[in-house]
Structure 1
Amino acid sequence: MGGAERTARKRRQQQLAARSDGGKAVAAARRSGDGKRIAVIVGVVVAVIAVVVGGLLWSNASKNATEGQLIPTESAQADITERRDGAVVLLGDENAPATIDVYADFLCPVCGMFEQEYGEQIKQKVASGQLLVRQHMLPMLVKKSDPPGYSMDAANAALLAADEGKFVEFHDSLFAHQPEEGKRGYDKEQLIQLGRDLGITGEAFATGVRTGKYEDLLNQEMKRVSEDPSLQQDFGGGQIGFGTPTVVANGEIVDHSDPAWLDQVVAASTS
C-alpha cells in the first residue's frame, strides 16, 4: 500500500469516526432533549396536583369554617319584653299601636342583611312601646347547610332561649355571626354553649336543643306559612311562593326595600 493510499485510507477512517462521534452526539442531544421534556412534563403534573390538593384543602377549610368555634355573644341594647307563643316569639308590649310579623330563617343571607339594616331600628321602636314584633323563625333552609339541619337546630334553640327570656340576645348573636348558606352551620353543642354564654344555665335548654324539643311545632308552622295564600309573593318569571324575609303589617306584605317602611308602618298605626 503506497503512501497515497495510506493517506486516503486514514482520511476515510477519520471521516467514519467523525460520523460515528457525530451520531453519538446527536443521540446524546436527543436524550438530553427528551430528559428536559420529561422534566417539564413532570413539573407540570406536580404543579397541577399541588393546585388541586391546595384547592381541596381550601374548600374543606372554607366549608367547615364554623367547626369548633365559639359563637360570639351580642348583648341586648334595650330592655325588651319577650314571650313565646307556640312557634312565635312576641317582642314588646302587646298593646303597642303597631304590630308586624317577621318571617325569617337563621341561615338566610337576605335575612342577615335585613337584620343588619333594620334590626336596631326595630328594637328601638319595640323598646319605646311603639311596636310589637311577632317573630317567626322558620326551618325553611333546613337542607341548605352542609350537613343539613342548621336552620331547624337554630330555630329550635331560639324558641328554647325565648323560654329563658334570652331570645333577643340569642337571635342577634346568630345573625351577627351567620354561617354561610351551603356550608357548615353551628352544631347543637355550639348552640348550647352560646346559650350558656348568654346566661342560660339550666339543663332544660341543653336537653331541649339535643332532643329537638320544638321540631314538630316548627314543622307545623313551616307548613302553615308556606300554604298561607296571604304570604305568597311573585318573585318574577312566573315564580310565586313564600320566601324569607317576609314582613307583614295589617294583613299586608310590606315592601321592606323602601328604607322608610318601618316609619310608615308606625305612622299609619297612629294616624
Structure 2
Amino acid sequence: MAFFQLSPRRRRGAVFLAALINAIILSGCLGSEAMPSEEEDSYPTSSLTGVVGAVEFDGGYISLGSGATVIDLYLDPLCPYCKIFEADSGQLLFDEVDDGRATLRIHPVALLDRLSVGTNYSTRAAASIVDVAASHPFALPGYLSAVFANQPAENTPGLSDQELVSIAGQLNVSLSDATTLRTYQAWVRDITAEALQGPLPTSEALALTAVPTTIVNGHLYSGNSDDAEHFAQFYQASLTQ
C-alpha cells in the first residue's frame, strides 16, 4: 500500500497552516459575507433612530455606563467562543462599568444565522438582547449571561422565541410583541452588514471578521477568547496607551 508523504518544505507549511487555523479556532467564530436567507424579504426596513433605554440606534450599539474607558464588544449569541469570553471576562467589563470607569458598547451581531438550519437564531436572539436593553436596561447583564448559559449547539434550530421569552421571564422582565422584535431583527441585520463591510468605529480593525471582537480605547484584542488572564493584561495595558 502506498502512502502519500509531504516533502519537508510542504510539511513545514502544513504545520504552519494547522497552527494558524488552530489559533483562529481558539480566538472566535469566523464571519462570512452576508447571505440572503429565506426570510430576508419578510424583515421590515429598519428605520430605528435615537436612543431607547440603553440602545443607541444611530450608533449601532447598546451602551452601558459613562466611564472614560470605551469598550466595544461584538457578540453573536450562537458563537461558542462568545459564550466562553462572556463567562471568563464579561464580569471584568461589567465591573468596570459599575465602578464608573468604563463605557461598554455591546454590538449584538448575527454572523452565524447560517448555522441554525433556517431559523435565523443569531438574529432572533440578538434582537431579544436589544429588546431587553431598550425596555429593561438594568436586566441586560443577567439576560446576556442567561442567553449564553442556555446557548444551543450550532447546526440546530436554536432556542424558540417562546424559550427566549421564558429566559427573560426568569429575570422578571418581558419581551416585546412579535412586530417590535422583528423591527429589532432588521436593525441587527443592518448593523451586522455595516460591521462586516467596515470600517469599525474608533478601532484598529478595518472590518468585523470574527466574534467575539473586543476593542478597548481603540485597541483590538487579538488573543484567545478563553485566556482571561491575557485579556485582563491587555485591558490594563490599553488604559495607558
Please give the alpha-carbon distance, in whole angstroms, between the structure 1 residues aligned to 2:107 and 2:209: 13
Q: Which amino acid aligns with 1:220?
A: D
CA contact (8 A) 2:113 2:119 kept: yes
Q: Which runs of 5+ in 1 are unaligned?
A: 1-81, 234-240
Q: Which amino acid aligns with 2:125?
A: A
Aligned Cα root-mean-square deviation (Å): 2.3
73, 78, 100: which one pairs with 2:71?
100
Corresponding residue of 1:219: 189
SS in 2 for 1:247: strand
- The alpha-carbon distance between structure 1 residues 151 and 118, as it changes in their structure 2 partners (threshold 3 A), is same
CA contact (8 A) 2:109 2:123 kept: yes
Q: Which amino acid aligns with 1:244?
A: V
Corresponding residue of 1:254: 221
Corresponding residue of 1:157: 128
1:123 aligns with 2:90: no
Please give the alpha-carbon distance, in whole angstroms, between the structure 2 residues aligned to 1:195 and 1:187: 13
Corresponding residue of 2:116: 145
SS in 1 for 2:71: strand
Deviation at 1:210, TM superposition (A): 7.4
CA contact (8 A) 2:127 2:181 kept: no
1:109 aligns with 2:92: no
TM-score of the superposed pair, with normalisation by structure 1:
0.59
Deviation at 1:229, TM superposition (A): 3.8
CA contact (8 A) 1:98 1:265 kept: no
TM-score of the superposed pair, with normalisation by structure 2:
0.66
Larger Rg belongs to:
1
Q: Which runs of 5+ in 2 are unaligned?
A: 1-52
Please give the alpha-carbon distance, in whole angstroms, between the structure 2 residues aligned to 1:123 and 1:160: 19
1:194 aligns with 2:167: yes
Q: Which amino acid aligns with 1:251?
A: G
Greater relative contact order (Cα 8 A, min sep 6): structure 1 or 2? 2
SS in 1 for 2:222: coil
Q: Which amino acid aligns with 2:133?
A: A
- The alpha-carbon distance between structure 1 residues 129 and 99, as it changes in their structure 2 partners (threshold 3 A), is same
Q: Which amino acid aligns with 1:262?
A: A
Deviation at 1:208, TM superposition (A): 4.1
CA contact (8 A) 2:147 2:167 kept: no
Instruction: Provide the identity percentage.
Output: 23
Q: How many residues align?
A: 178
Please give the alpha-carbon distance, in whole angstroms, between the structure 1 residues aligned to 2:151 and 2:219: 28
SS in 2 for 1:185: coil
Q: Which amino acid aligns with 1:88?
A: Y
Comparing both structures, which one devotes a greater share of its residues to helix?
A: 1
Corresponding residue of 2:24: none
Deviation at 1:138, TM superposition (A): 0.6
Please give the alpha-carbon distance, in whole angstroms, between the structure 2 residues aligned to 1:218 and 1:142: 12
SS in 1 for 2:154: coil
1:269 aligns with 2:236: no
Please give the alpha-carbon distance, in whole angstroms, between the structure 2 residues aligned to 1:211 and 1:104: 18
Corresponding residue of 1:134: 105
Corresponding residue of 1:207: 177
SS in 1 for 2:153: coil
Deviation at 1:90, TM superposition (A): 1.0
- The alpha-carbon distance between structure 1 residues 172 and 194, as it changes in their structure 2 partners (threshold 3 A), is same
